[in-house]
Amino acid sequence: MKVPTLLEMSSRGEKPEVVFWIGCAGSFDDRSKKITKAFVKILNNSNISFAVLGAEESCSGDPAKRSGNEFLFQIQALQNINSLNNYNVTDIVTTCPHCFNTLKNEYPELGGKYNVFHHSQFLKKLLLSGKLKVEGEKFKGKKITYHDPCYLGRANNEYKAPRDLIEKLQANLLEMKNSKSNGLCCGAGGAQMFKEPEKGNKDINILRTEQALDTNPDIIAAACPFCNTMMADGIKNKEKEKDVSVMDIAELIANAEDL
């Protein structure tokens, strides 16, 4: 798989069209690595010049900031900003809404000013430009319900791009009881991914999974590695793994074309 680093491209005097910010989940979590690979396949197939920071990429700082450690956040952010500015980076795409929100909205005040895209926005852009064509009928007629990630939807008001991609698959898009600006968190945001839930009647990811299952879907589409994990755990809890798949937008597009 062709994944050049910024250091390699810089040493050849080249600059990529966009930097792919992989994020911690996409780098280290086995399930999320599949999302990373699917997106890379799409980029390569669309002949997009891209590069990654590789070992120079650190955590965006989102978990530290959300859990109240502003000092650690700024250390991580400044380290990344120094690396990105060293390569004169202008455009960044990421498969993680947490990284997307942090790089887009919180890095500028620390000196990191970039054009930041969530991968659903970038894929839609490729479709509109003709660089990406989705012509496979693998998902035609499939019942797909889409879960809105908090940091993509309510935090950045992006609801259309992921849905446009699903409809491009000729799938039957089903909306949950809570969707778009009225969406329900999967339970992982705000650094909750890394701690046990507080006592209550029901975990949020179970409630959200129930809302998804109420639509009687074949697939639950996600656009965030954390949401993917929480919804997949919910499906396991309901013992529905054989009936319902949880897939990222990038995986849907890559699988539609058998990339």
Give the pLDDT confidence score for residue 258 in this predicted structure.
Answer: 65
Alpha-carbon distances of 92 from 34, 189, 233, rounded to whole Å: 20, 22, 30
pLDDT band at 254 (very low <50, low <70, confident <90, very high): very high
Phi, psi angles (nearest 5°) of residue 90: -120, -40
Q: Which of 259, 252, 258 is nearest to 170 (CA)?
A: 252
From the number of C-beta atoms within 10 Å of its C-beta (0-12, 13-18, 19+), residue 28 rates as: exposed
How many angstroms separate the CA atoms of 91 and 201, rounded? 44
CB-CB contact of 183 with 212 (8 Å): no
* Residues 44-74 pLDDT 10s: 999 999 999 999 999 999 999 999 999 999 9
Mean pLDDT of the chain: 95
pLDDT digits (tens, 9 = 90+) for 106-162: 999 999 999 999 999 999 999 999 999 888 789 999 999 999 999 999 999 999 999
Residue 55, CB-side half-sphere exposure with 13 Å CA sphere: 2
Residues 195-236 have pLDDT tens digits of 677 788 888 999 999 999 999 999 999 999 999 999 999 999
Q: Categorize the per-residue pLDDT at 77 as very low, low, confident or very high, splitting at 50, 70 and 90.
A: very high
Q: What is the pLDDT of residue 259?
A: 55
